[in-house]
Chain A
Amino acid sequence: MEDPTELLRRRLERERSARKAAEAIIEAKSRELYNKNLELEAAAASERQARDEAEALREAVVAFTAKLDLDQIVSQLEGFLTQLVPHRSRAIYVRFEEELVLCAIAGWAGAGEGDAAPDGALARPPECLGDIEHAIGPVILRPASASEEACAAALPIEGPVWMAAALTAHGRHLGFLLLGSDAGDAFGEVSARLAQALANEAAAALENVRLFKEVERLSTTDPLTGLHNRRHFDARASAELARSVRYRLQLSAVMLDIDHFKDVNDTHGHVAGDVVLIEVAKVCLSMLRASDIDVRFGGEEFCFLLPETGLQEAAALAERLRTAIAGLRFAAGAGAAPGADEHSVTVSLGVAAWNGEQDTLEALLRRSDEALYAAKRAGRDRVVARER
């Protein structure tokens, strides 16, 4: 038999070793759990950030969708950029027709008082920016070369780090935004992503504005001449009439008809006829005031309603229109009859004035129409103004 003390000693030795081994395992496991916890905390933080980001963007989408005005969209974009993308200065360029125009600027020392958008050369983006508008995703720049330095200096924002994000919607390049910062670590992944997302939302809203205006224009104008259609004329004429009654203002109507228009079509072809209509409308639009209301009634008959204008002034305008149109020269078109040469047209105009509260739009138009027929009967190419 073994010595019991020796057995106990062995048992104690083993138990002690086992305890140490267990402690080592537990220690390793705790460290593993601690690291796991750190990972979970980091994941939770990035999850929170992603959620906040998503929430901010959702708000931005709602805010942008509600806007149908360019200035509102631009200032909305500025607001969200200020809130979500840390930067020191910014500039936003938006495309008008073919030109990129600086619409908003902030935080730039060169802007002077009030951060107003500067006029002149600065209103256009520096050429060195090149094709930045066509870039996909944000472009983050830290000028490295001398030419890049020079370009950065030409920008209406403060560096040395700057970011550009294109305003693109449905493949249309609607402009871009520039952000500048003096923080070396500015425009990280999150900032860049948010800036581009905001730019996309703003671009979608800008595109909506453009489409809305286009639809509005199409629904209120005659596609051939660009003059307004009858629906638009009626709506605006009623409003103008109400204003004239309220403020006891004068109001006149001019009715215009192209003389022997059928002959133009017959002799020079329908394409030439369309050209005549377009050019005559162009002359009229160029001589009318912004407040005047134009309409093509169909065929070759146009009418103009002139607010705050008496009969004599209206007749004088009609005479100027007659002279200008008579001076137009049209080349013989492709559909012209053999031997046809350069040609011109004349117009007859009837003028009538608003008779006060008891008068109606129909009556005013009828009187100007009667004056037009009087001009036609008197031999065309003239203005007839009807006193009452």
Chain B
Amino acid sequence: MKGLVFTEFLELVDEQFSFETCERIIEMSDLPSGGVYTSVGTYDPQEMATLLGNLSSETGIPAPDLLQVFGRHLFKRFVASFPMFFEGITSSFEFLPRVNDYVHVEVRKLYPDADLPTFTCETPAPGTMIMTYRSNNDLPDLAEGLIRECIAHFGEPLAVQRESLGGEPPATVFTIGPK
């Protein structure tokens, strides 16, 4: 898992909870990396699961909810850091297919070995998009947070429904359509 996900996660914990909470969950997690993350490095995704579990028990908030919040936070950071991916894009239906077709293509140029999730998009009817998420890390809540924040970014009245398909790697289908 890319280091950027870890550094963003810890920053979010700092902001949303506290510096002390952040230090505590790192201490509790007893991580192989020692919690030393750089955005350009790559780390074991299991460390994210451990950190998340400990944050949940520390705060009493269910892990899936935390992940959704984290997804929304990541999307905002993404918009701020990579405005070039949004040039001339005016809707979620325009942007979401570009994650797979363009954003991840560019990421691979920098990190050829990155284990990236896939997002395949279909438009079965006008106004509806079916997005299938597959990842070895299987974090559908994180994906949902990203999708929801994307919709919020473009200010669209769209609803998101989700269904697990299982499989290897596990797939989750998001149906995005009118409310």
Contacts and interface: CB of A to CB of B under 8 A. Distances in A.
Interface stretch (A20-28, A334-342, A372-380): A20-28
Contacts of B41: 21-22, 25
A336 to B, nearest CB: 91
A21 B19 contact: no
A11 B19 contact: yes
Interface string A17-55: 111011001100100000000000000000000000000
Contact of B40 (A1, A4, A22): A22
A17 B24 CA distance: 18
B38 A21 contact: yes
Given A2-B23, A2-B24, A7-B23, A14 B34 contact: yes
Interface string B25-40: 0110000001111111
B36 A17 contact: yes
B113 interface: no
B36 A14 contact: yes
B124 to A, nearest CB: 42
Interface residues of B, number: 14
Contacts of A26: 40
Contacts of B20: 1-2, 4, 7
B150 to A, nearest CB: 29
B35 A14 contact: yes
B34 A25 contact: no
A22 B2 CA distance: 13
A7 B36 contact: no
A257 to B, nearest CB: 92
Contacts of A18: 36-38
A21 to B, nearest CB: 5
Q: Which of B20, B37, B38: most chain A CB closer than 10 A?
A: B38
Interface residues of A, number: 15
Contacts of B40: 22, 25-26, 29
Nearest to B38: A22
Contacts of A14: 26, 34-36
Contacts of B34: 14, 17
Contacts of A217: none
Interface of B: 19-20, 23-24, 26-27, 34-41
B36 A11 contact: no
Nearest to A17: B36
B40 to A, nearest CB: 5
8 contacts: A1-B20, A2-B20, A7-B19, A7-B20, A19-B38, A21-B36, A22-B38, A25-B40
B23 to A, nearest CB: 5
Contacts of B24: 2
A21 B39 CA distance: 10
B39 A22 contact: yes
A10 interface: yes
A10 B38 contact: no
Contacts of A11: 19, 23
Contacts of A7: 19-20, 23
Contacts of A21: 36, 38, 41
Contacts of A19: 38
B159 to A, nearest CB: 40
A251 B23 CA distance: 122
Interface string A118-161: 00000000000000000000000000000000000000000000
Contacts of A1: 20
Interface in A179-238: none
A364 to B, nearest CB: 89
A29 B42 CA distance: 14
A25 B19 contact: no
Nearest to B24: A2
Q: Nearest 4 pairs between A and B by C-beta?
A: A22-B38, A17-B36, A7-B23, A25-B40
A21 B34 CA distance: 12
A21 B7 CA distance: 13
Count chain A CB atoms within 10 A of each CB in B19, B23, B26 and give the residue with the most: B23
A22 B26 CA distance: 19
